[in-house]
Amino acid sequence: MRCRRCGGPAAINMRQHKLSLCATHYPEWFIEQTKRTIRKHAMFAHAERILIAVSGGKDSLALWDVLLKLGYQADGLYIDLGIDGGFGYSARSREKAIAFAEQHPEARLTIVDILQLYGASIPQVAQRRHRAERPCSICGVIKRHEMNRAALEGGYDVLATGHNLDDEAATLFGNVLHWQVGYLLHQAPVLPADGQGLARKVKPFCRFYERETAAYTLIQGIDYIEDECPYAVGATSLTHKETLTQMEHDSPGTKMHFYTNFLKAKEAGLFAAAEAELELRPCVKCGQPTTAADLCAFCRLWEPVEKE
């Protein structure tokens, strides 16, 4: 395999794009593609301040790297979930985020420590709620709430996450399998701010395959935590990913078509009726928007267990 731009040895071959590139031209292509996605979905402008949710993993650190290279004002947010898993998952991923920030003095890293701030780590909250084995839904509620809070309180214009195409396709697959229209409505490269407590959310890597972000991180020598969160093992989202990867192997481009055709269908009004019904009001305690009548899902988590 040869690089299409210079004829040198290829570092990556992307079957779905029918494109091979070397270690010099691949990062250039990757940065250029990110720029195109940002522009295509009108995600943000150079004058705006961006907060990136950084997990210490490859996607979020690659995103931070690319946005800084493109000259954006991009700061990081690390949420310490207090997960150990026998190998210090949170402690080690936090170190990776800090190490990256130290190499980029132009950017700031904010750390939110859930245990310190609220008195219980994710595994502890999950234990209380009898979800010790599967804390992901609780974790998701807490992460979303804290990301939104940090973005609003820090005066950021937009919150960015490193979700890639494999993540988005797997999420879509799960939501379609169960026809969760509410979730489908909320799956988009850009979710606009609502002016009442929801920050704008963007996913600049949503058109990259996971192996493409992995290749970028590797070639750029970005140090990240390779281990997944211990609770990711056996999660249905991983099974969905594997299923889609098998389909992609048989027919390159499957994930991309699945995701982008969903976006087109949505734009064409597939869920317009459901959208009209969706009503949000501020949570009586924290003020963040919710579909619930009083407390949002986050605030309910911290209520005494007996009340349930």
Which chain residues interact with ligand Q46 by CB under 6 A? 81, 122, 135-136, 139-140, 229, 231-232
Measured in residues, the chain has a length of 308
Residue number with CB closer to ligand Q46 (4 or 131): 131
Give least dist CB 278 to ligand Q46, A.
24
Binding site for Zn ion (CB under 5 A): 3, 5-6, 8, 22, 25, 283, 285-286, 296, 299
As a whole number of angstroms, the distance between CA 109 and CA 83 comes to 20
Dihedral angle sign, alpha carbons of residues 159, 52, 175, 235: negative
Which of ligand Q46, Zn ion, none is residue 68 near (CB under 5 to 8 Å by kind)?
Answer: none
Which of Zn ion, ligand Q46, none is residue 296 near (CB under 5 to 8 Å by kind)?
Answer: Zn ion
Which of Zn ion, ligand Q46, none is residue 22 near (CB under 5 to 8 Å by kind)?
Answer: Zn ion
Which residue type, as a one-letter code, is found at position 264? Answer: K
As a whole number of angstroms, the distance between CA 51 and CA 48 comes to 10
Q: 172-193: string of b/e by CB count within 10 Å (b at 16+)?
A: bbbbeeeeebeebbebbbbbeb
Residue number with CB closer to ligand Q46 (146 or 248): 146
Which of Zn ion, ligand Q46, none is residue 135 near (CB under 5 to 8 Å by kind)?
Answer: ligand Q46
Residue number with CB closer to ligand Q46 (199 or 229): 229
| Residues 183, 145, 156: CA angle, nearest 5 degrees | 105
Residue number with CB closer to Zn ion (274 or 284): 284
- DSSP assignment of 126-149, as one string? HHHTT-SS-THHHHHHHHHHHHHH
Which of ligand Q46, Zn ion, none is residue 6 near (CB under 5 to 8 Å by kind)?
Answer: Zn ion
Residue number with CB closer to ligand Q46 (85 or 252): 85
Residue number with CB closer to ligand Q46 (17 or 129): 129
Dihedral angle sign, alpha carbons of residues 207, 34, 106, 188: negative
Give least dist CB 14 to ligand Q46, A.
25
How many CB atoms are located within 10 Å of the residue 215 CB? 22
Which of ligand Q46, Zn ion, none is residue 198 near (CB under 5 to 8 Å by kind)?
Answer: none
